[in-house]
Amino acid sequence: MAGSTIGNLFRVTTFGESHGEGLGVVVDGAPAGVELDEEYIQEVLDRRKPGNNPFATKRNEADKVHILSGVFEGVTTGTPIGMVIYNEDQHSKDYSGIMNVMRPGHADYGYKVKYGIRDYRGGGRASGRETASRVAAGAVAKKILGCLGVTVSAYTKSIGNIEIDYSRFDLAFAYEDPTVMPDREAAMAAGEFLEKCIKDSDSAGGVVECIVKGVPAGVGEPVFGKLDAELSRALMSIGAVKAVEIGDGVAVTGRYGSENNDSFFTRGDSVYKASNHAGGILGGISDGTDIIVRAHFKPTPSISKEQETINEKGENVRIKIKGRHDPIVVPRAVVVSESMVAITVLDAIMINAVSKIDKLKLTLE
């Protein structure tokens, strides 16, 4: 299977299936000398793991990460970092009733047509569980970015039609609430909405917003390697994402250029912008302001309502999907989105390190 690797200088390759022995990731390109241990990676993974959120699947996985290589005495060695997360609570029998049925909203049909075989136990590689590997790699990327003074923070912007109010923005609260919304009032309303979804055997979608601070101007490759294009590619690779916005996104289509352009000005030796409609990226290159990106997630396709579909023989059938599924993926997808952004931004910064001869000369001093 192609397509399991992302990145150029900071390369991430994931492997494993939802109901296999486990999941893993190989991170190549991490520089030597970065303090890194399982405890830190585990803290990041715990934000994604199932079983500890009323609006998440009841699958009880510890998601215990094991570093296999690339770290010695708590410091990266510069060699590939291998990590594995073993599956412990997979209930494959939950899927026996749909082994020959194409679930609506899932990748079942595409996998069967493409490969002639599919892992019906939770979707195999198409399962949201695959994202645990991404989060482990994202933890490494975030650790390295921290050494460079760059921070990546994501949160839930909306659930269904309930959006946060930025006048009540509280990021610390978001990481304490099961909705991961940085707005107490919106979180309460969203919680009630999701309880109704659960009662109605249905699901909901939402939006994750991510802000990157500390990236200097000049990061990103023009034309095909644009920073916003790479961020979009990375986020769209998450299974449930159906759209990505940079900055004000689709809202700019209804404006005049005079309204949408971000004016530059100087204060001392520094360059600033009067606004940030562009989301910190112009011409595919960072402009030194906050990078703002949003990922739009579809409702969880696994619902217990009866649905119409087909089986592998092409016959029309009706199904009710059993098992343990999230009524919404957004809260757990916050750290997944954050990880994909961190991986992409770090790779772009590393590429930018050789964009000028002066920078290259510094590596020999």
Q: What is the reported pTM?
A: 0.91
Res. 119: pLDDT tops 80 = no
pLDDT band for position 50 (50/70/90)?
low
Calculate what percentage of the chain has a pLDDT beyond 70: 92
Query: What pLDDT does residue 108 have?
Result: 83
Res. 363: pLDDT tops 90 = no
Query: What pLDDT does residue 310 have?
Result: 87
pLDDT band for position 323 (50/70/90)?
low
Lowest mean pLDDT among 234-248, 268-282, 315-329: 315-329
Whether the Cβ atoms of residue 281 and residue 247 lie closer than 8 Å to each other: yes
Res. 342: pLDDT tops 80 = yes
Res. 98: pLDDT tops 80 = no
Looking at every residue in the chain, the average pLDDT score rounds to 91
DSSP string, 258-280: HHHPPPEEEETTEEEES--TTTT
Residue 82, burial from CB neighbour count under 10 angstroms (0-12, 13-18, 19+): middle
The stretch 96-122 carries a mean pLDDT of: 79
Query: What pLDDT does residue 20 have?
Result: 81
Lowest mean pLDDT among 85-94, 186-195, 353-362: 85-94
Q: Quick one: residue 67, left, alpha or beta (phi over 0 = left, psi -120 to 50 = alpha)? A: beta
Whether the Cβ atoms of residue 44 and residue 138 lie closer than 8 Å to each other: yes
- Which secondary structure element, helix H or strand E, spans residue 138, and what is its range? helix 131-147
Taking the C-alpha atoms of residue 326 and residue 321, their distance in angstroms, rounded to an integer, is 12
Res. 359: pLDDT tops 80 = yes
Amino acid at 189: A
Sheet with 5-6: list strands edge to edge: 5-6, 11-16, 22-28, 81-86, 65-69
Calculate what percentage of the chain has a pLDDT beyond 90: 69
The stretch 176-197 carries a mean pLDDT of: 96
Taking the C-alpha atoms of residue 80 and residue 26, their distance in angstroms, rounded to an integer, is 6
Query: What pLDDT does residue 176 have?
Result: 92
Amino acid at 234: A
Residue 323 φ then ψ, to 5°: 110, -170
Between 143 and 88, where is the model more confident?
A: 143
Lowest mean pLDDT among 73-82, 83-92, 178-187: 83-92
Res. 296: pLDDT tops 90 = yes
Q: What is the pLDDT of residues 66-80, one digit of tens each?
A: 999 999 999 999 999
Query: What pLDDT does residue 60 have?
Result: 58
- Which secondary structure element, helix H or strand E, spans residue 17, and what is its range? none
Q: At what angle do helices 131-147 and 330-352 cross, to 10 degrees?
A: 50
Whether the Cβ atoms of residue 187 and residue 168 lie closer than 8 Å to each other: no
Taking the C-alpha atoms of residue 353 and residue 349, their distance in angstroms, rounded to an integer, is 6
Query: What pLDDT does residue 57 have?
Result: 61
Residue with tokens 């839930």: 156
Query: What pLDDT does residue 210 have?
Result: 98
pLDDT band for position 51 (50/70/90)?
low
Query: What pLDDT does residue 103 have?
Result: 85
pLDDT band for position 52 (50/70/90)?
low
Query: What pLDDT does residue 21 have?
Result: 87
Taking the C-alpha atoms of residue 122 and residue 108, their distance in angstroms, rounded to an integer, is 10
DSSP string, 201-253: T----EEEEEEEE-PPTT-S-SGGG-HHHHHHHHHHTSTTEEEEEETTGGGGG
Lowest mean pLDDT among 16-30, 231-245, 257-271, 309-323: 309-323
The stretch 108-133 carries a mean pLDDT of: 81
Listed residue (163, 271, 169) closest to 217, CA to CA: 271
Query: What pLDDT does residue 122 have?
Result: 65
By three-state DSSP, how is residue 107 classified? coil
Query: What pLDDT does residue 67 have?
Result: 98
